[in-house]
């Protein structure tokens, strides 16, 4: 197991540890985490935070929409201290529903880039995945180099991609709405539907397996699904990685779209200081490195080392569009999907 150095203790995290002289128990209490991240590797994050602080992490996991509905129903009596989700649209929705509260933290402001946090400090990004294009190197001589290229007629019948009801599809279209305008984004979506190799089905790994099986020649997927297949055996994928090439799109203009996993402090958090300490821990070098090493993601904090599986994908220019603005376009993206028949 890779060992990472312990991060410098600052902000709320340092204050909690300094509040007691007990060597085995740095801080009292607990933090109640509502999370839609379903990764076994996150266990390491929680256990190390508990070891460092003495704060017990209690978790409730579920679908993001279910968790938001639960917090809303619980109201002022909600035990939730922290909400973690795997996409910006859900973070923004939580804010709009009044489920989060502003956080003043010098640590988070210093470490999390401005475009990866809410302008009102109600949510912060902690890890990222680039949404890029993959292709069959044996069949595609001229792969698409931009998201816009995916709509070109030359790729008719070649494209595998997620459903229009999936948040990853919604956020990439929402980003294109931000960059290109709604009319151009709708034209793009309609043309991509015309290039489908099959009706949308399955998750990102299934899109990549579609290349292996020959069902499609081009697929869109988040990077961490491919990097995971580099790091460990993924059935139906790892044995065939040599046939798959990849493109980080739009490197000469907007950059590759980034999906964000992040969190915020619940509006009625009963353990507010512990919640802030937990978010600050997620921004530490130790936790940021583990997002990459344990789950093949890109850290949100600049300069943090990448795991070998992630680094193998190469350097690229990310899209630094304000993700708060992208999230606001998600309803328009869903409407466009419905109008163009992107099932």
Q: Is the pLDDT of residue 101 over 90?
A: yes
Instruction: Compute the distance between CA of residue 306 and CA of residue 175 in angstroms, rounded to an integer.
Output: 25
Structural domains of the chain, count: 2
Question: Do 208 and 289 belong together in one domain?
Answer: no
Write out pLDDT tens, residues 239-257: 999 999 999 999 999 999 9
Q: Which residue segment(s) compose the domain that 194 sits in?
A: 130-256+318-340
Question: Do 135 and 233 belong together in one domain?
Answer: yes
Write out pLDDT tens, residues 288-301: 999 999 899 999 99
| Other Cβ atoms closer than 10 A to 49 | 24
Instruction: Give the pLDDT band (50/70/90) at residue 324.
Output: confident
Q: Is the pLDDT of residue 1 over 60?
A: no
Instruction: Compute the distance between CA of residue 264 and CA of residue 276 in angstroms, rounded to an integer.
Output: 8
pLDDT of residue 323: 87
Is 17 inside any structural domain? yes
Question: Do 123 and 158 belong together in one domain?
Answer: no
pLDDT of residue 25: 36
Q: Which residues contact 110 (CB under 8 A, 6 or more apart)?
A: none
Which among 140, 242, 113, 129 is positioned nearest to 195, based on CA atoms?
140
Which tokens is 337 given? 């999907």
Instruction: Give the pLDDT band (50/70/90) at residue 88.
Output: confident
Q: Is the pLDDT of residue 21 over 80?
A: no
Instruction: Compute the distance between CA of residue 132 and CA of residue 28 in angstroms, rounded to an integer.
Output: 44
Question: Do 174 and 245 belong together in one domain?
Answer: yes
Q: Is the pLDDT of residue 18 over 90?
A: no
Question: Do 168 and 89 belong together in one domain?
Answer: no
Question: Do 207 and 265 belong together in one domain?
Answer: no
pLDDT of residue 13: 57
pTM for this predicted structure: 0.88
| Other Cβ atoms closer than 10 A to 343 | 12
Distances 239 to 209, 246, 272 between C-alpha atoms, Å: 11, 16, 47
Question: Do 71 and 88 belong together in one domain?
Answer: yes
Instruction: Give the pLDDT band (50/70/90) at residue 43.
Output: confident
Which residue reads 């076994």 in tokens? 40
Instruction: Give the pLDDT band (50/70/90) at residue 11.
Output: low
Question: Do 158 and 124 belong together in one domain?
Answer: no
Q: Is the pLDDT of residue 137 over 70?
A: yes
Lowest-pLDDT choice from 37-51, 162-176, 184-198, 201-215: 37-51
pLDDT of residue 6: 38
Q: Is the pLDDT of residue 227 over 50?
A: yes
* Cα 324 to chain centroid, rounded: 14
Instruction: Give the pLDDT band (50/70/90) at residue 2.
Output: very low
Instruction: Give the pLDDT band (50/70/90) at residue 20.
Output: very low
Question: What φ, ψ does residue 124 adopt, rounded to 5°?
Answer: -135, 145
Above pLDDT 90, what percent of the chain? Answer: 86
* Cα 121 to chain centroid, rounded: 18
Which tokens is 220 given? 């869109």
Residue 139: give its domain's CATH number. Answer: 3.40.190.10
Q: What is the DSSP letter of 101?
A: -
Q: Is the pLDDT of residue 129 over 90?
A: yes
Question: What φ, ψ does residue 31 adopt, rounded to 5°?
Answer: -140, 130
Mean pLDDT of 126-154: 98
Q: Is the pLDDT of residue 4 over 60?
A: no
């Amino acid at each position: 197991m890779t060992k990472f150095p312990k991060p410098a203790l600052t902000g709320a995290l340092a204050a909690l540890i300094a509040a007691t002289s007990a060597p085995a128990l740095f801080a009292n209490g607990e933090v109640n985490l509502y999370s839609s991240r379903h990764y076994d590797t996150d266990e390491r994050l929680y256990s190390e935070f508990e070891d460092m602080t003495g704060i017990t992490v209690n978790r409730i996991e579920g679908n993001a929409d279910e968790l938001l509905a639960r917090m809303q129903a619980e109201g002022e009596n909600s035990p939730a201290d922290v909400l973690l989700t795997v996409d910006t649209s859900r973070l923004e929705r939580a804010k709009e529903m009044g489920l989060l509260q502003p956080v003043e933290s010098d640590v988070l402001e210093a470490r999390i880039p401005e475009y990866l946090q809410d302008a009102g400090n109600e949510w912060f990004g902690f890890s990222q995945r680039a949404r890029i294009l993959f292709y069959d190197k044996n069949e595609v001589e001229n792969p698409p180099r931009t998201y816009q290229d995916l709509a070109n007629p030359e790729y008719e019948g070649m494209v595998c991609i997620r459903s229009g009801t999936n948040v990853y599809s919604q956020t990439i279209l929402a980003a294109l709405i931000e960059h290109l305008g709604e009319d151009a984004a709708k034209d793009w979506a309609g043309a991509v539907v015309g290039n489908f190799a099959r009706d949308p089905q399955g998750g990102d790994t299934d899109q990549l397996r579609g290349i292996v099986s020959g069902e499609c020649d081009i697929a869109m997927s988040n990077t961490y699904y491919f990097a995971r297949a580099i790091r460990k055996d993924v059935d139906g994928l790892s044995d065939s990685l040599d046939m798959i090439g990849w493109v980080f799109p739009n490197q000469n203009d907007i950059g590759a779209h980034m999906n964000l996993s992040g969190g915020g402090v619940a509006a009625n958090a009963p353990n507010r200081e512990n919640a802030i300490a937990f978010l600050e821990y997620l921004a530490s070098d130790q936790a940021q490195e583990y997002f990459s090493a344990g789950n093949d993601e890109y850290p949100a904090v600049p300069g943090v080392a990448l795991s070998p599986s992630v680094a193998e994908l190469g350097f690229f220019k990310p899209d630094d569009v304000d993700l708060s603005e992208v999230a606001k376009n998600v309803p328009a993206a869903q409407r466009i999907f419905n109008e163009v028949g992107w099932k």
